[in-house]
Amino acid sequence: MLELIDVNIYYGAIHALKGISLKVLEGEIVTLIGANGAGKTTALKTISGVLRPKSGKVLFKGNEIQKINAEKLVGFGISHVPEGRRVFMNMSIMENLEMGAYSRKDKSEIKKDYEKIFQTFPRLLERKNQMAGTLSGGEQQMLAIGRALMARPKLLLLDEPSMGLAPLMVKQIFSIIKDINEKGTTILLIEQNATMALKIADRAYVIQNGCIQMTGNAKELLNNDSIKTAYLGA
């Protein structure tokens, strides 16, 4: 579904992504793990069109997309849940969800998707007219994911979905991510909680200083001694 081929990204003189290549197959959860500043968020921003690579290719379903604007890529089937959630604080839950469906015209199907979102996140239904800025961190994360799903993505990009959440909420969010994947959405996940990410992922890439250092089956990497030492606190 997704392939990055020798992608290079610069921030001025800083070489942030150094020729990275990775693949995400349809139906997978793939996680990209690494230390802060390794290039994880930059990779997601490149896929979703927020950043343009200086060189290299980004392929989605076999088509090059690295020169396509971010707002158009939503229509292609790519939704990005950014780090820090970025919900519209002065808008209600319903208005935030409406924004997620801004590129769609199929009103009856949009209504069905509201119902699906509220089935997945019952807490949002209870508060649907509440301003997003008054929600807890966990509720805002649910809303950010729900807003992304309103675009009916084929590929969902998740950047640090557990950041700042209580352990019980982290467990709930990861359960929801797994459920979303099982219902047919392919997921590329960035997550500081590498243990949780590796437990739900099919495959994983390890990025360090803008380079892919290792890749493999997520469960095997979970038991890899060097990964345990570097990222899992073992």
- Per residue in 22-47, pLDDT (tens digit) is 999 999 999 999 988 899 999 999 99
Q: What is the pLDDT of residues 99-125, one digit of tens each?
A: 888 877 888 888 888 989 998 888 898
Dump the DSSP string for 136-204.
-HHHHHHHHHHHHHTT--SEEEEE-TTTT--HHHHHHHHHHHHHHHHTT-EEEEE-S-HHHHHHH-SEE
Please determine, for residue 234, whether its predicted confidence score (pLDDT) is greater than 60: no
- What is the pTM (predicted TM-score) of this model? 0.89
Domain ranges of the chain: 2-231
What's the N-to-C CA distance of the chain in angstroms? 34
Architecture, CATH, for domain 2-231: 3-Layer(aba) Sandwich (3.40)
d(CA 214, CA 206): 5
Contact residues for 94 (Cβ-Cβ < 8 A; gap 6+): 114, 128, 129
pLDDT value of residue 233: 59
Residue scoring higher pLDDT (134 or 169): 134
